[in-house]
Structure 1
């Protein structure tokens, strides 16, 4: 079956599913929009709120794609849940010379906030995770050297939002391996409870998974497990070559009932273990709005359950859908503790990006438990602040502890982090070599520094990770020299895009640093990298919030 035919079939099936659900169980999700308790985040100022049964199933975009987010679909009462993290503060190098964090390749925060902006909803500051805004975009990093699975790129330049500090970029590039000969054993774990009955949930799930199934082959195995009041095995160990059966099974799903998530998760892992492929890609992909309300439903209980399963060599990807009752905090915990990644799907285009275009990174892990530790030289740095990663911070002793779980990186994926750095003033006064950090002083071209010349080092970036099937970690590191500094006029596109994404996230989230859209746009304009999505979102924000009547 040709790709276009498969895509049309999947879209048609999704639309038919929507019509069927609204005809048979349209009222099943009414209770979803009631506030669960007084501590939930609520939002009564959403425009165009109507009850779920008024969602139209025939809305289309100009491009002819099914539109899952109509104005009528926005609920009046919002019970979405997000964890709160205070922004990282500056740390004294004299007291804390090490900064340690787990890698993060998740992108859910960016697409979830994009959905809020496009729908003109109130933007929850706690929904904004700066590192996920930064890591949504792709950068120009070289492939790792030799047999390393992760390579390190760094850049030191001026900080766009603080004249008194510098900005340091740390970019990790995972090896882009050939996955053609790697067979997959995938379990689609799908929430079909009543809260999934909306057009932007289960129908979009079915279409997204159908797109992924298009790329599977004879030796791949697909199982489909659904859960509501109980878990059901809809498909078991089916060959990836039988696309029509997989797509028809997905199209036949309907929503209704409560959410017994723990039972479904257990069944999914049992099937993944039953069809386990040695040396293959063994993965459970969970699709849900996170509204787990029967069985193990607390974040702590769910985390404990996933931690028990991750050592089997079966990885977890979490895909979030929908709005109104979305439980981001629970889904993030599942992905972080299940050796997997977390994405939010707000459109079929995003589904294609995550499950087709970037399938290798999403599905094929090359480095697990990846951790970063930066050691600052107190002779040259007084204070530093990690931008984002508030929920990924590790104790310094965790870096060399191979039993400590950390982030996992897929084939070809990237991890980008920014540090705001305040140079040591005394050093600048004593030695003209560091006068390049003073904007008002002309500074001659620095002498080339040799590696190992500790006096000329600013810091060292170290990364530990494990090969996919190994238990002992490997170490790669890179010193950053004072001589590597470039002025803001020479700043690379990598640094410009990453800092613009960070500025946008800071403006929307829990940061004291706020910027105008014009300032952020100026940082992101004219880049050869893929800044279009950020520029579009900046424009949408201006139109929907700053320029609204």
Structure 2
């Protein structure tokens, strides 16, 4: 009797459920294409989400998508800078046209969904803005402490010496935090990397030198009685087809911490972008590491792109992280296939969480310092969140004569690995150092903005054994000095009591000219051991006739100081940053500068909270 009773109950429940469900609801795989109304171009990375669920996908390189749904479901199509659309599923085919909206650019697109379809076979065409969904908390990220540069008195310290830095990882990481609805930790904000995320219109090198120096000076936006000096470097540009042969080793972290759409899946899509742009003469090998390291693909010609992509597709995450063993094996394979005069480089893709074998920062530094003598360079691409070890990866890139980028979405991968391939992958000048001498007749005190981890001793400038930064083809580097002019009253300069036992020597300026400072630069050829020197001077006519790029770059510098809550932020505000950045927009073909303004607006809202 009991069995019969429960059978009746179950049948009744099933009947009730069937009566509630719409008669027209049928499972269907919906396919379609998303395009832009303005010009008909396909939209890559558009979010396609089943309303009321976390099930969704992204459009691929052709603007196409495929998603399993039921007839009657509502699909939500969202894309930064476009008006969100909702469409009801009526058949297996659903094309959508999105319209751009200036107002939508102000919105933060932070969507939590499960990616159902991965973006595959990504081509080299320009990728529009695509944000990877972020849902996790950030419990154990690690950043090196930054002790901010203060003002230095010219009479005591007339020289400022540092290694250049072309990394931009802090910018992508900062963007990831803001898009998640959080202000980044202060030590995650390296102001020089925010500034150097953008390329500026500097004069190109002429003659034999691979680098040219540009300087300008104007009023300091956050402290108008101070002057702001911009020093810009531009590396020689080389057309992609003329770049030397590349001998690349993809070193991929496939440990358990790399599991997920924002980690290994994004690594795969990123590297496919690079593979699509390889020439037949270029070669790629693949090394992976988790509990141990192994070679997944021997060095393969760029003509066999499908073979390389297939090897990438087969990668799966799991296990611990023997990063040191992976680095050793990658260098071994790079040396085995070394191309004299070529671009011999390891591209490390990881979250930086090494926990097996050689894993300490000092041990890894020694390993990298030893291996860089072979002429193999190291590029470090950071992925993921939650256990991201930024400090460790920054050091690896510095010691490996390479660069460091943080990949938070497919657009950033396209920027780093396609649009700036030469700058990212091919070095034209290594061990690049700057030394600035200030004129005490014009300058009372100065402060270098950022570059705290790149400071050098003054004597290091002429020491060719001292390692410094590298510049890739077409790279630009920017450094700002905030200057307190001679005779200006300022608490920042500080005061010291007169000495009791000795009298300081009086400095007699050799010239009362308008020369503010002298910039000296040293560099080596990529395969050279001896440095060469370049020198220019900067005069200050006390005017404020600065370039459009000066306005924008100084807005970014102000933003970095505000995010860090700097002791020297002066009158900086988010509104002042936005206004200054808008006056410096200039040419913004890829929308990076407008995106910056949107990020400042997000930070402003979060800071109010």
User: Is structure 2 residue 243 aligned with structure 1 residue 190?
Assistant: no
Q: Distance in 2 between matches of 1:529 and 1:132?
A: 21
User: Is structure 2 residue 210 aligned with structure 1 residue 152?
Assistant: no
Q: In structure 1, what is the equivalent of residue 150 of structure 2?
A: 89
Q: In structure 2, what is the equivalent of residue 507 of structure 1?
A: 562
Q: Distance in 1 between matches of 2:375 and 2:395?
A: 19
Q: In structure 1, what is the equivalent of residue 518 of structure 2?
A: 460
Q: Is the 8 A contact 2:549 2:586 kept in 1?
A: no
Structure in which a larger fraction of residues adopt helix = 1
Q: Distance in 2 between matches of 1:66 and 1:464?
A: 38
Q: In structure 2, what is the equivalent of residue 202 of structure 1?
A: 264
Q: Distance in 1 between matches of 2:315 and 2:477?
A: 36
Q: Is the 8 A contact 2:190 2:450 kept in 1?
A: yes
Q: Distance in 1 between matches of 2:455 and 2:309?
A: 41
- Give the alignment of 1:131-530 within 5 angstroms: 131-181=192-242, 182-425=244-487, 455-483=513-541, 485-487=542-544, 490-509=545-564, 511-512=566-567, 513=569, 515-526=572-583, 527-530=585-588
Q: Is the 8 A contact 1:126 1:510 kept in 2?
A: no
Larger relative contact order, structure 1 or 2 (CA cutoff 8 Å, min sep 6): 1
Q: Distance in 1 between matches of 2:333 and 2:239?
A: 26
Q: Distance in 2 between matches of 1:11 and 1:305?
A: 39
Deviation at 1:517, TM superposition (A): 1.5
Paired residues, what number? Answer: 476
Deviation at 1:87, TM superposition (A): 1.2
Q: Distance in 2 between matches of 1:128 and 1:245?
A: 39
Q: TM-score, structure 2 length as denominator?
A: 0.74
Q: Is the 8 A contact 2:129 2:411 kept in 1?
A: no
Deviation at 1:95, TM superposition (A): 0.6
Deviation at 1:144, TM superposition (A): 1.2
- Going from structure 1 to structure 2, the CA distance change for 1:186 and 1:207 (only over 3 Å counts) comes to same
Q: Distance in 1 between matches of 2:427 and 2:383?
A: 23
Deviation at 1:219, TM superposition (A): 1.3
Q: Is the 8 A contact 1:206 1:251 kept in 2?
A: yes
Deviation at 1:301, TM superposition (A): 1.1
Q: Is the 8 A contact 1:364 1:411 kept in 2?
A: yes
Q: Is the 8 A contact 2:128 2:411 kept in 1?
A: no
- Going from structure 1 to structure 2, the CA distance change for 1:92 and 1:64 (only over 3 Å counts) comes to closer
Deviation at 1:142, TM superposition (A): 0.7
Deviation at 1:456, TM superposition (A): 3.1
SS in 1 for 2:344: strand
Q: Distance in 1 between matches of 2:179 and 2:288?
A: 30
Residue-by-residue CA offset, 1:375-422 (whole Å, 9 max, x unaligned)? 011111110000111111000000000000000000000110000011
Residue-by-residue CA offset, 1:145-186 (whole Å, 9 max, x unaligned)? 211111010001100111221000000011112442411000
Q: Distance in 1 between matches of 2:555 and 2:131?
A: 29
- Going from structure 1 to structure 2, the CA distance change for 1:55 and 1:195 (only over 3 Å counts) comes to farther
Q: Distance in 1 between matches of 2:321 and 2:190?
A: 27
Q: Is the 8 A contact 1:386 1:420 kept in 2?
A: yes
Deviation at 1:454, TM superposition (A): 6.8
Q: Distance in 2 between matches of 1:517 and 1:416?
A: 22
Q: Distance in 2 between matches of 1:455 and 1:10?
A: 60
Residue-by-residue CA offset, 1:213-269 (whole Å, 9 max, x unaligned)? 111122111000000000010001100111111111111100000000010000000
Q: Distance in 1 between matches of 2:128 and 2:232?
A: 36
Q: In structure 2, what is the equivalent of residue 70 of structure 1?
A: 133
Deviation at 1:69, TM superposition (A): 3.5
Q: Is the 8 A contact 1:98 1:373 kept in 2?
A: yes
Q: Is the 8 A contact 1:60 1:67 kept in 2?
A: no
SS in 2 for 1:425: coil
Q: Distance in 1 between matches of 2:607 and 2:511?
A: 51
- Going from structure 1 to structure 2, the CA distance change for 1:265 and 1:463 (only over 3 Å counts) comes to same
SS in 1 for 2:447: strand
Matching residue within 155, 172, 175 for 1:111? 172
SS in 2 for 1:143: coil
Q: Distance in 2 between matches of 1:11 and 1:392?
A: 39
Q: In structure 1, what is the equivalent of residue 507 of structure 2?
A: none
Deviation at 1:122, TM superposition (A): 4.3
Q: Distance in 2 between matches of 1:64 and 1:523?
A: 27
Residue-by-residue CA offset, 1:486-515 (whole Å, 9 max, x unaligned)? 32xx32112111110011111111512163
Q: Distance in 2 between matches of 1:9 and 1:249?
A: 23
- Going from structure 1 to structure 2, the CA distance change for 1:59 and 1:86 (only over 3 Å counts) comes to farther
- In structure 2, runs of 5+ residues without a counterpart are 1-41, 46-57, 67-109, 120-125, 490-509
Mean Cα deviation higher: 513-522 or 375-384? 513-522
Q: Distance in 2 between matches of 1:232 and 1:528?
A: 48
Q: Distance in 2 between matches of 1:350 and 1:83?
A: 23
Residue-by-residue CA offset, 1:76-111 (whole Å, 9 max, x unaligned)? x51000011121100010010000000000000011
Deviation at 1:55, TM superposition (A): 6.7
Q: Distance in 1 between matches of 2:127 and 2:483?
A: 48
Q: Is the 8 A contact 1:58 1:66 kept in 2?
A: no
Which protein shows a greater Rg?
2
Q: Is the 8 A contact 2:256 2:317 kept in 1?
A: yes
SS in 1 for 2:262: coil
